[in-house]
Structure 1
Amino acid sequence: MRVENWRQGVLVAISLIAVLALSVAGRVAQDPGYHRFADSTTLFGLANFFNVVSNLPFIGVGAFGLWRAPRLAHAPARDAYRVLCMAVILVGFGSAYYHHVPGNATLLWDRLPMTVAFMALLTLLLEERVLERRKPGLLWLLVAVGASSAVYWALTESLGQGDLRPYILVQFLPVVLIPLIIALFPTGPSSNRLLLAALGLYGLAKLLETFDSRTLELTAVVSGHSLKHVAAAAAVLCIVRAIPTRA
């Protein structure tokens, strides 16, 4: 390996370790209680109202990102950026659909666009910071891998052998790689701060998801899962703003 490529080697090594670790781990089944949320309020005839409408920020952030797309400073990254923004819009619709009628069948339409978004984000960061030249086909290869992870889970679930391992890899590998990319391939401090803020907001979203019921008890108004959607959309907004545009 050439000396100047050692940083790319670190990313490859971490990715391979993650793949191997999940490969040797046992099957990860879907928690049967996953679909039980703390808030089931019905308003205006809409079941699970707050868990549904709290997905609207995803649609707004995705639309804002698409509006910025023509002015991106790094033209080769535009395809990945656009796919990310379109996937985030679909996350808003897919997640709203799932939360209106929670179940494994509808959960696929929540997870499928999320996997596309995660892989588009990874491609975007690689093309923005890591790769010296754009790799044709990389975006669509990673998007196919991401989408396949959600479809694989749905198929195995339908056979009574649900396995979330590929989905877990697709969701969390970019989260692991982002701080490494920031450290190893730094650009402007503003962009770095926004990406770190996105990581922090994503962590907050996962905490709110974990403490769904407790948050509803504390606020008496809104559940942790509803706030999770808002925090996650704010994380995406930070990512969108982190990609520089032309002056």
Structure 2
Amino acid sequence: MQTTFRIDGLTGSERPVKRWIKHAPTIITVGIIAAFAAHGRIAQPASYNDFADHSAIFGIPHAADVLSNAGFALVAIWGWLALRPHRNSDRLRAGWPGYRLFLIGLFLTAFGSAFFHLAPGNGRLTWDMLPIALAGAGLLVGVRGDTQPRSKTNIEAIVLGLFAVGSVAWWAATDRLGAGDLRPYLLLQVLPLILIPLWQSVYRAPRADRIAFAAAMALYVAAKVAEVLDHEIADTLGFVSGHTLKHLLATGATAAIVWGLTRRFSDSGGRAYGSGL
């Protein structure tokens, strides 16, 4: 008969599994990078800049696609005003360098995306992609800091921020050569969808955090679907295009994240990581 013993609340037979699970994020990240490398160049679709929205308001072309970016700035301002005063608290300190980058990227997204949609084209697309990449990098660092407080998140925010800039610069440089490659940029969009729920599961994030991020990711996936179905949604609904809807859904996703973070400082929120409650 096998004998088990308990260490830190785990039986001896469970502990090796726990150790393996903690390495899963690294293994998955390496696997994704390898898959991207093996796949080869991923190009921007030739028809990407052909958006369905042709509305005009007060002389603003593509007005719905342009003005629907305002929500990103509003959410970023809300997050900054609500969270910055708590940046040195135990519930935010470790993740703040990442969330700060996320909020800055989110605020800049409102202007970069609006600028792009005024006259869609690859020449302006860089200014849309760059703040989105920064926001994705910041989100990764923020959640990593929450779940693994010993992480050097200030350094990680700088490193991933530079990677975000480099990913967009890589696309811009390869696009000028007629062989645009989105792989580094897409990596920053794929990794949060996989690593964030995994980190939160492994390190037993508070239920409120898991709910907020799960809602955000569901809305983000819906936003990407709406983006792909831009013309189909416009033809079906008539009053809104898929890309405009994408902006609104993505705004909802970022609002869910900020809501989850601000809830830590409400009277009823804010249980510690590892509690699983």
- State the TM-score, normalized to the length of structure 1: 0.94
**Is the 2:94–2:153 Cα contact (8 Å) retained in structure 1?**
no
Aligned to 1:246: 265
Cα offset, 1:177, TM superposition: 1.3
Structure 2: give runs of 5+ residues left out of the alignment. Answer: 1-14, 267-277
SS across alignment from 2:192: helix
| Greater shift in the superposed pair: 45-54 or 234-243 | 234-243
Distance 2:93 2:202 in 1: 22
Cα offset, 1:76, TM superposition: 2.6
Change (3 A) 1:149 1:238: same
Q: CA RMSD in A?
A: 1.6
Cα offset, 1:240, TM superposition: 1.4
Cα offset, 1:135, TM superposition: 4.4
Distance 2:117 2:153 in 1: 37
Change (3 A) 1:133 1:30: closer
In structure 1, which of residues 84, 95, 100 is the aligned counterpart of residue 118 of structure 2? Answer: 100
Determine which structure has greater relative contact order: mean sequence separation of CA pairs < 8 Å that are 6+ residues apart, divided by chain length: 1
Counterpart code for 2:36: L
In structure 2, which of residues 240, 251, 256 is the aligned counterpart of residue 233 of structure 1? Answer: 251
**Is the 1:209–1:228 Cα contact (8 Å) retained in structure 2?**
yes
User: Does residue 138 in structure 1 map to residue 152 in structure 2?
Assistant: no
Cα offset, 1:77, TM superposition: 1.9
Q: Which of these two proteins has the greater Rg computed from alpha carbons?
A: 2
In structure 1, which of residues 56, 62, 68 is the aligned counterpart of residue 76 of structure 2? Answer: 62
SS across alignment from 1:30: coil
In structure 1, which of residues 9, 15, 22 is the aligned counterpart of residue 36 of structure 2? Answer: 22
**Is the 1:35–1:102 Cα contact (8 Å) retained in structure 2?**
yes
Aligned residues: 246
User: Does residue 129 in structure 1 map to residue 167 in structure 2?
Assistant: no
SS across alignment from 1:161: coil
Deviation string, structure 1 residues 161-198 (Cα, Å, up to 9, x no partner): 21111111111111121221222122221111111000
Cα offset, 1:79, TM superposition: 2.0
Of Structure 1 and Structure 2, the greater helix share is in: 1
Distance 2:19 2:102 in 1: 27
User: Does residue 50 in structure 1 map to residue 64 in structure 2?
Assistant: yes
Distance 1:80 1:133 in 2: 11
In the TM superposition, 1:75-224 aligns within 5 A as 75-224=93-242
In structure 2, which of residues 83, 86, 89 is the aligned counterpart of residue 71 of structure 1? Answer: 86
Deviation string, structure 1 residues 44-71 (Cα, Å, up to 9, x no partner): 1111000000101001001111011212
**Is the 1:57–1:233 Cα contact (8 Å) retained in structure 2?**
yes
Counterpart code for 2:73: I
Distance 2:75 2:37 in 1: 35
Identity %: 33
**Is the 2:94–2:149 Cα contact (8 Å) retained in structure 1?**
no
Structure 1: give runs of 5+ residues left out of the alignment. Answer: none
Cα offset, 1:8, TM superposition: 3.3
Deviation string, structure 1 residues 67-103 (Cα, Å, up to 9, x no partner): 1121253213222211111110100100000011100
Counterpart code for 1:139: A
Counterpart code for 2:76: G
SS across alignment from 2:94: helix
Deviation string, structure 1 residues 191-236 (Cα, Å, up to 9, x no partner): 1111100011001101111111121122211111101001001101
- State the TM-score, normalized to the length of structure 2: 0.84
Name segments (4+ residues, structure 1) moved above 6 Å. none
